[in-house]
Structure 1
Amino acid sequence: MTWEIVGATIALTAFRLVWILKRPIPKDIPFYILPGLSNLRRLLRYDPDFSYVPYGLIWYVINVPIVRLARYNGRLWIVVLALIDVAFLWYISQFLGLTVFIAYVMIGTFQLFRAPWNASINWLIVLAPISWIFLALAPIAKLPVGLPVQVWGYTERAIGHQHNYIYYGLLGSLWLIVFNHLYFLQGIETSIVVGLGVLWTFILGYAYLERRAKRRESAP
């Protein structure tokens, strides 16, 4: 199966890179993500005028070197994330199995296209075979732990903003899949992944139709 995984990973990465290079990047990247990653001095002391990304200090520690490597170019940052993800795809195939690999491909690709700032949270989750501590670190990195307490208000607003519940939900789904694989019921792993896949198909379909309807209403 190793060569099949290698071939699938190469094809997937090529598809991802073509998409990233051809499609517009998410609007949150130039308006919120890059400004939030560019001024660490203002990060730890609250400034209401600062563009906080309401994630934890761990998230900043992971992403600041990557975004600096990309020279604060949003598209290049996503490209670097996609290339780093190749190592995690191989790792998952070796230590978490084919079912989790397929789930990660679906969730990780969607997140990479729509919410690439969550890629590093995905990485923490799938590192759980090394230690359970990574399953604990993932939500700590997702939430603004280590930032000024006022930033928690940004998180409350972010969860309900537009379709952010989808991104939080997908992270939660990946967390549950990995947790189940390592510590719970491996015998029904495929059923759980398929069930979540069906559920998310309906959720994403509904979100798409809702967004399309709003566009029609706002059209002149």
Structure 2
Amino acid sequence: MEVVDLEPHYNGSGRMRTAVVEMVPYDEEQLTGALYAWSSPASEEEPETGYYPFSADLRDFSTHLHAWRVLPRVVTLQIAAFAQEAWCFDDEQSYLQSDHSILTETEDEETGELVTLRLAPQAMLPINEGASDDVTGNYALLTGRIVEVQRLQNPHTGKGFVTMLVDTYGGSVDVVAFEEDIEGVPHAGGTVKAYAWLSAQVVPDEEG
């Protein structure tokens, strides 16, 4: 028996309305791949009116590739964000006052003062965005308000993990992380920042 593909995913409650503009297969058989999409577009005809572009691995890629003959296409996605690192804070203010909110610090050429650029408490910043440029680059730096926290156990490995339903810019996502990869204590009403790999599945009842 040959295992053709393994598609890790967590089936959560997060929802994000998106306009899919490109499908990028990973192999010649086109069994697996990524989508390239815009979050929260104004219309299917104008996908770039969305908040930001991003790419994510897509479950059942081959099925959707052959079904979606015309792009762009507006669909609702459930996105699982598998965090390599996550930082949790009591609230937005605690996050904004921490060094983890800092993106860059530069010196103003005229005044010499230090100018700090911070990542908003609800944001999605794609890393290597554009599946057509780098099919291994379906990562994002995201922040958001924690709506719900669950502590679960993988029945196959026995290893515990945490899931967080997170409201972020453009929708909600399901952040998944091992306990040891989380700094701070996740709780409903708190704020989380995560560096995560994105996996998406189409929500059938809401598919455009």
TM-score, length-normalised on structure 2? 0.24
Per residue, is there more helix in 1 or in 2?
1
Q: Which structure is richer in relative contact order (CA contacts within 8 A, separation 6 or more)?
A: 2
Task: Give the structure-1-normalised TM-score.
Answer: 0.23
More strand by share: 2
